[in-house]
Structure 1
């Protein structure tokens, strides 16, 4: 299969409409339809059920959609890493560090300041992203190194160093009855009918079903909590970032969170090596 065919198929599978997929790809619809038909013949499988009004994925099509996304991500990651390796060889490369917005802020600031004081320090670009995005940025080559949080982020296939472990707290709007307590339990927080947990968009950009409000980023989440529309359980270090209209209450039975610095095992970046050395020393 060619990457062009995979891109065409992913567009149709995500749009479930040949006209919209063709428009998204910037091509005419007939060659798109021919490409999908040729792909089905070569694979010996029906990927899409078509009627005069609808398009839907078959089981085989769902498998190819998952595999095609992974394959295209791998191709894009290879391109990015190759370009970055060329820059590194020329002595012009810095590094890109991904971190979840609002998390590990104090640690991140200390890390950047300490690394900048090193005699061989280079420019570090920081990508602040949404929940869980830093792992994907690292794996697809858009970041060279990342701060990840166990047990929420997956580290399989990455090299890591543990930096710190901390308890979790419930973030609640000021004035809520639970804010007067010295501590709470998970069941008390996750079962609040008036303050449901927010819903985050998945890889496809769609929100899962549920009662909680939709949240795109950390700033929007804090605003929702302050308005009394949601609550959240987060690492204790987030206390330093809270506004006056938010209160953090320790959650006794919440799992601890371990922050790690992670990088691809094949990395040969001197900047990444310097960041890891600085982070573990801190």
Structure 2
């Protein structure tokens, strides 16, 4: 009898070549594959000529399926859990199942691989030493803005998933809450034929995407630069007066650049003072 274990197997987010050799081996020898959508996973298995029995495990049946999975483990079987794409449990079902299996005393072992937000973060050019993964925002604007308000002062890079139908509305709400000039990156259709990764201020990204319906299609990761850390900025009162006058007429970056030419004070220091992060 083989050792009973539940494998958490990451599958490709687009390019089938990203399924690792180890993942292929685990899926090929599994006694049972628990899939979010058996039809979707069936196409993946057929591509690799893998034949294994499957059961569905999704948001609506996960608690019931946990008992069935545990019974299979009690018989010494090896089971692989997969989602439709990427790493299971990351904005996908599986938490209850994994907890139940661990509580029942069985081993749970990850088989790492693709993850959309990690792939996007690695290619974004945004700070990656600290990040906050939020997954999908609420579908309605009011609740979405409320959640964004709770995040606007967070220092780490913010990472979101978004769908075709809400990408424009989400970018618009992000601009309204974070400020149109907050830098962000949109990663679309990662590893697929029409992969696109574009960075810019939120206002620029919204204008670019609004002008091109093709860029509104697919699966999205939106990464937003964290808030500027509050630091003490010593500014001469006369310089501050000039800066404030310019700030009333111009965007912060342009006001700071012009104030640098007038006063000789470094633009970065003026920008920090202008956006209200400094004192003095």
Length-normalised TM-score, structure 2: 0.26
Could you say which structure has the greater relative contact order, defined with CA pairs below 8 angstroms and 6 or more residues apart? 1
Structure showing greater Rg: 2
